[in-house]
Amino acid sequence: MFEIIPSNERIKIKKSHGKLSTEEIKKLLMDLASYGVKVNFNSIRNFSLKEDADEMTLKIEKIQITISADEMEAYVKLNSKDITFNEIIESIEKEGICYGILENEIKSALTEGKEKFPIAKGKEPKNGKDGYLIFHVELPNKKVRENSKEGKIDFYNLDIFKFVKKDQVLAEIIPPTPGEDGMTVLGRKIKATLGKKATYTLDKNTFIDGNYIKSKIDGVFSFEEGKFTVSPVLLIDGDVDLSTGNINSDITVQIMGWVRNGFKISSKKDIIIEGGVEKDVVLNAQGSIVIKGGVFGGPKSEIFCKKNLYSKFLQDLKAVVEGDIYVNDYVINCNIQSNGSLFLSTNNGKLINTNISLKYAAYVKELIGGKKKIKIKGFSRKELLKLINSYMNEKTKLKKIMVDWSLKIKNNVLEIAKLKAEGDDFTHLVIEQQRLSNGYKRMLETYSKLEDKINQIKEILLHVKGEGAIYILNKAVDLKTTLKTVPLEITEIKNSVIYIDENEEVKKE
């Protein structure tokens, strides 16, 4: 057992004969700390364990200063009422505190008679802001899927393609900021983190002029997967007819008029038709196809595209589409295959007497099945989630490699500058710099593609009910459908969603 007897400036410890237990030593140390005593652990331990020692006297510190573990705050505990401001400042300096001293707060605390209060506060670092891009050309509408699903689509204002002129500013590059270093109360600098540069890549038809990204040519602008692209355009300032013949192009084709009966247009990029398409026309694009005037098809009418198809209406044709299909008014008497979804949900949206096979979903205002069927091939949510995880892992691995390459590029630049200053040959390092830069650019493009793939899958999971669905926004008559492998026939249904769940069960809501 022990007893603590405090006086003005000293404290006396008395213990009965014998040693103190471990628990008693711990309690003694805690009690002494509460009195503001600076404790020498070894002396306390020796006193506690000596059987013949029964008394010990220690000095009470009038001013007891505590600094937080991260050195960002300091506090004082006053063990006397006659302490002055100057005495506190002197103790602060002895502890090595030199930054963020709260002089006004100390004076106020003394006036108010406080025993414990803060005396210094460090400055947190302000990390730099990341760089970013300010686009000077409005990006194509990214909410086409969402707006189409809700029946809000206005085909004439989709802005799928953006045409730009030579030397036109596409975007402004806002550089990252360096940030502002912090400081601890002990004067230790805390480095701020530099903001990251905006990430993007350029194609051969774009260039940087100061802080601006510009186009080298007249063409179609796109920003996909983090890459600025301006594609040259083959402009037909009128109709495709006997005066032009069939068109086979490596670049985007823009037709200001109509495509007349029986002609063929092929493009390794996109096809944009400002007018309409007459019967027995064949359109083939490695990109997307836009037909603002719609298609009056015929027995030989065919459309093939690797991306999306947009049209005012589709009639009497065969179509194979890798992406989604967006139609403003109606689809009638067609045979269509798509690895995406059909969006036909505007006020005029009707699907009539059409065989159509879709991967994900159909959004239709009205449907008249007749003898034709809708097939929803469907998908597995579990598999798509696995795919997302796989892409995320790829991104993580790639990011680590990119950080390593970024350091290599930086060190190589420093080495070039050093050799240049010394007058030595640095040709080999310039070649290495080109190799590193090209490799980093390829990795950046791959990283952006992975992000886009992840976002596309997330969009499907968000917008499609179950594992394949048909959305009837008004009514359907004579609906014949197969969801995955489950056939279904409905005479009439209104304002419903028909979908198949992960257990291969068809449900209606």
Q: How far apart are CA 2 and CA 11, in angstroms?
A: 13
Residue 296: its H or E element: strand 295-296
Nearest in space to 101 (alpha carbons), one of 135, 69, 131, 67: 67
What are the structure tokens assigned to 158, written together? 């989709």
Q: In this predicted structure, what is the pLDDT of residue 18? A: 67
Longest distance between any two alpha carbons in the chain, whole Å: 121
pLDDT digit string (tens) for 181-218?
999 999 999 999 888 888 889 999 999 999 999 999 98
Q: Model confidence at 224, in pLDDT bands (50, 70, 90)?
A: confident
pLDDT digit string (tens) for 372-385?
999 999 999 999 99
Does position 359 have pLDDT exceeding 60, yes or no?
yes
Cβ atoms of 275 and 297 within 8 Å: the answer is: no
Question: On the CB side of 407, how many CA atoms lie within 13 Å of its CA?
Answer: 5
For the chain, give every domain's residue range: 2-59, 63-121, 132-230, 381-463
Nearest in space to 248 (alpha carbons), one of 226, 278, 269: 269
More confident residue, 204 or 60: 204
Q: Model confidence at 156, in pLDDT bands (50, 70, 90)?
A: very low
Average pLDDT estimate for 60-68: 82
Q: How far apart are CA 310 and CA 456, in angstroms?
A: 19
Q: Which residue has the tokens 């490596």?
A: 250
CA dihedral (13, 15, 19, 22) in degrees, to 10, reads -60
**What are the distances in angstroms from CA 43 to CA 2, 53, 54, 437, 506?**
16, 12, 14, 64, 81
CATH architecture classification, 381-463: Orthogonal Bundle (1.10)
pLDDT digit string (tens) for 16-36?
666 767 777 677 767 776 666
pTM for this predicted structure: 0.68
| Residue type (1 letter), 97 | I
Q: In this predicted structure, what is the pLDDT of residue 501? A: 94
Does position 53 have pLDDT exceeding 80, yes or no?
no
Average pLDDT estimate for 130-149: 74
Q: How far apart are CA 175 and CA 170, in angstroms?
A: 16
pLDDT digit string (tens) for 103-117?
999 999 999 989 899
Cβ atoms of 507 and 501 within 8 Å: the answer is: yes
Does position 274 have pLDDT exceeding 50, yes or no?
yes
Average pLDDT estimate for 48-72: 77
**Residue 442 CB contacts under 8 Å (≥ 6 apart), including other chains:** none
Average pLDDT estimate for 275-288: 95
Cβ atoms of 458 and 388 within 8 Å: the answer is: yes
